[in-house]
């Protein structure tokens, strides 16, 4: 996952990653919370972080990985969101539905 890889690209940052897994409160599925404690995402990306044109590390980076991840989760009935109220690091919420294909 892009968020997981990016935390290791930043020197001298806290490399701790917390992952919390619990039953989904909104649907029949599983919720994941993935949090790092790095410098966080710049505010200018708040509205575009899941878009196909979000610029990342350099002006030529497209930041497509979170856009693609969002499409994949939506296609199976799940979702991924960013908590924009974190004071340090990033906190992503991921919901994955449980699919019973035993019919």
Q: How far apart are CA 18 and CA 66, in angstroms?
A: 19
Q: How far apart are CA 3 and CA 97, in angstroms?
A: 21
By the 8 A CB rule, do 64 and 55 touch?
Answer: no
Q: Given pLDDT bands bounded at 50, 70 and 90, which one contains residue 12?
A: low
pLDDT at 91 over 60: yes
- Name the phi and psi angles at 47, rounded to 5: -90, -15
All structural domains of the chain, each given as residue ranges with its CATH number in brackets, are 2-97 (3.30.565.10)
DSSP label of 49: T
pLDDT attached to residue 4: 44
> What's the rounded Cα separation, in Å, for the pair 39 and 15?
11
> What whole-number distance in Å separates Cα of residue 36 and Cα of residue 16?
6
Taking residues 1-11, what's their average pLDDT?
Answer: 49
Give residue-wise pLDDT tens across range 20-78: 999 988 778 999 999 988 877 777 777 788 887 655 555 545 467 888 999 999 999 99
Q: Which H/E stretch holds residue 68?
A: helix 64-75
**78 or 87: whose pLDDT is higher?**
78
């Amino acid at each position: 996952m892009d968020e997981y890889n990016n935390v290791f690209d930043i020197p001298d940052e806290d490399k701790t990653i917390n992952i919390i897994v619990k039953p989904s409160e909104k649907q029949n599925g599983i919720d994941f919370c993935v949090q790092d404690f790095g410098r966080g995402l710049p505010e200018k990306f708040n509205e575009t972080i899941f878009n196909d044109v979000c610029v990342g590390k350099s002006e030529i980076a497209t930041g497509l990985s979170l856009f693609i991840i969002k499409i994949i989760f939506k296609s199976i009935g799940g979702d991924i969101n960013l908590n924009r109220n974190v004071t340090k690091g990033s906190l992503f919420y991921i919901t994955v539905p449980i699919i019973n294909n035993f019919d």
